[in-house]
C-alpha cells in the first residue's frame, strides 16, 4: 500500500527519551490529532534501539488517535521497532507502512562464533548517560561476531531495560554503580548483572501483562520487565552474601 503523505499528519518518534523529548512528542501529538481530520503517521525510521519509553509513547499516540477516530500508521519502522512490538503482542495493533527499514538488507546472517570464548566487563555508574555509554560498548563488542540483527536487538534491549530498572528501583544513588559481565560461549550470550541495591528478583515477578488493558489504562510501570522476560531464554537470580543482587540472563545467538 502506498501512503499519501499530503493528506496525513506526520510525527517523528524521537530517538532520545529524556523527559523533555517525551513532553515535546506528546505536545505535538495532541496538536496534530486536534487539528486534522486525516490519519496520523509516526515516523519510526530513526529509532534503532527501542526502549519501554518508546513503546509508551507509541501507546499514547495510539490511544489518542483512537479517541479522535483516527488511524495511526507507523512509517518506516526499523527492525528493532518491529521486533519489540511483536515481542509485546502489539504488532497487530498498529498499521505499518510497507517499506520496513531492515538492517539485514533482506538477508538473515548466520551466527558464526562457534568455538569463540570471549568476555566483556562493564562497570556502569547509575545514571542514564552512563547506561547508554555501556550499551554502546556492548554493541561494539557483539558486532565483532556475526549474530543475526534480530537477536542483537533483543540482547541490547535486555541489557538496557535491566540496567535502567536497577538505576530506577535499586535504591542506589547516581554515585553508585552496577557491574555487568558479558560472555560469549558456543552460540550463547550470557549477561550477568551485579548490584548492591535492595533485593529484587526479576525472574519471579509476575507483571500480569495484557496489552489491551495496559493500553486502555495507559499503564506505564512494568513494561520493561515484560520485555526482559519475553526476550530472554533464561533468567536466574541469587542474593549473594545478603548484600548483592546477581541476575544472570542467557540468550541463544543463533
Do 81 and 133 share a domain, yes or no? no
CATH of the domain at 19: 3.30.750.24
Q: Which of 96, 131, 160 is the last residue of a domain?
A: 96
Look at phi and psi of residue 227 and say left if phi exceeds 0, alpha if psi is from -120 to 50, else beta: alpha
Report, as an integer, the average pLDDT of 95-121.
56
Q: Is residue 242 part of a domain?
A: yes
Give 198-202 contacts, CB < 8 A, sequence gap 24+.
198/169, 198/170, 198/171, 199/239, 199/245, 200/169, 200/170, 200/245, 201/237, 201/245, 201/247, 202/162, 202/165, 202/228, 202/229, 202/235, 202/237, 202/247
**pLDDT-wise least confident of 34-38, 86-90, 206-210, 219-223:** 219-223
Q: Is residue 106 part of a domain?
A: no
Query: In this predicted model, what pLDDT tens digit does every residue of 142-173 receive, in sequence order?
Result: 888 778 888 889 999 999 999 999 998 999 98
Q: What is the percentage of the chain residues whose pLDDT exceeds 90?
A: 50
Question: What are 31's three cell numbers?
Answer: 496538536
Cα–Cα dist 150/80, whole Å: 7
Domain that residue 20 falls in:
5-96
Cα–Cα dist 28/222, whole Å: 26
Report residue 214's pLDDT band, with 50, 70 and 90 as the boundaries: low
Q: What are phi and psi of 180, to 5 degrees?
A: -130, 125
Q: Which of 96, 125, 144 is the last residue of a domain?
A: 96
For the chain, the domain total comes to: 2
> Count of CB atoms within 10 A of residue 193's CB?
23
Cα–Cα dist 34/211, whole Å: 26
Do 136 and 67 share a domain, yes or no? no
Query: In this predicted model, what pLDDT tens digit does every residue of 184-202 receive, in sequence order?
Result: 887 789 999 999 999 999 9
Q: What pLDDT, on a 0 to 100 scale, did the predictor assign at position 240?
A: 95
Q: Is residue 145 part of a domain?
A: yes
Query: In this predicted model, what pLDDT tens digit does every residue of 18-69 receive, in sequence order?
Result: 889 999 999 999 999 988 777 899 999 999 889 999 998 998 899 899 888 9
Do 227 and 131 share a domain, yes or no? yes
Question: What are 76's three cell numbers?
Answer: 518506516
**pLDDT-wise least confident of 23-27, 97-101, 209-213, 245-249:** 97-101
Report residue 212's pLDDT band, with 50, 70 and 90 as the boundaries: low
Do 146 and 200 share a domain, yes or no? yes
Do 68 and 148 share a domain, yes or no? no
Helices (H) and strands (E) in the chain, counts: 7, 9
| Residue 132 pLDDT exceeds 80 | yes
Do 239 and 123 share a domain, yes or no? yes
Q: Is residue 109 part of a domain?
A: no
Q: Is residue 103 part of a domain?
A: no
pTM above 0.85, yes or no: no
Q: What pLDDT, on a 0 to 100 scale, did the predictor assign at position 144?
A: 80
Q: Is residue 218 part of a domain?
A: yes
Q: Is residue 220 part of a domain?
A: yes
CATH of the domain at 141: 3.30.565.10
Do 122 and 227 share a domain, yes or no? yes
Amino acid at each position: 500500500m502506498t501512503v499519501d503523505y499530503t493528506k496525513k499528519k506526520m510525527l517523528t518518534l524521537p530517538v532520545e527519551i529524556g523527559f523533555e523529548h517525551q513532553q515535546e512528542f506528546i505536545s505535538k501529538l495532541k496538536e496534530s490529532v486536534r487539528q486534522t481530520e486525516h490519519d496520523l503517521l509516526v515516523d519510526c525510521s530513526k529509532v534503532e534501539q527501542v526502549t519501554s519509553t518508546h513503546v509508551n509513547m507509541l501507546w499514547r499516540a495510539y490511544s489518542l488517535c483512537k479517541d479522535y477516530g483516527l488511524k495511526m500508521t507507523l512509517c518506516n519502522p526499523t527492525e528493532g521497532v518491529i521486533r519489540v512490538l511483536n515481542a509485546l503482542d502489539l504488532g497487530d495493533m498498529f498499521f505499518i507502512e510497507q517499506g520496513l527499514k531492515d538492517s539485514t538488507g533482506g538477508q538473515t546472517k548466520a551466527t558464526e562464533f562457534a568455538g569463540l570464548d570471549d568476555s566483556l566487563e562493564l562497570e556502569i555508574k547509575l545514571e542514564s548517560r552512563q547506561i547508554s555509554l555501556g550499551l554502546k560498548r556492548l554493541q561494539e563488542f557483539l558486532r565483532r561476531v556475526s549474530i543475526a540483527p534480530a537477536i542483537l536487538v533483543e540482547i541490547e534491549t535486555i541489557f538496557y531495560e535491566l540496567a535502567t530498572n536497577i538505576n530506577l528501583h535499586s535504591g542506589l544513588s547516581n554515585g553508585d554503580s552496577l557491574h555487568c559481565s558479558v560472555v560469549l560461549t558456543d552460540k550463547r550470550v550470557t549477561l550477568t548483572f551485579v548490584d548492591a541495591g535492595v533485593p529484587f528478583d526479576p525472574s519471579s515477578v509476575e507483571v500480569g501483562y495484557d496489552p489491551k488493558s495496559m493500553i486502555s489504562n495507559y499503564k506505564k510501570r512494568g513494561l520493561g520487565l515484560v520485555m526482559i522476560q519475553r526476550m530472554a531464554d533464561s533468567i536466574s537470580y541469587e542474593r549473594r552474601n545478603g548484600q548483592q543482587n546477581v541476575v544472570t540472563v542467557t540468550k541463544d545467538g543463533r
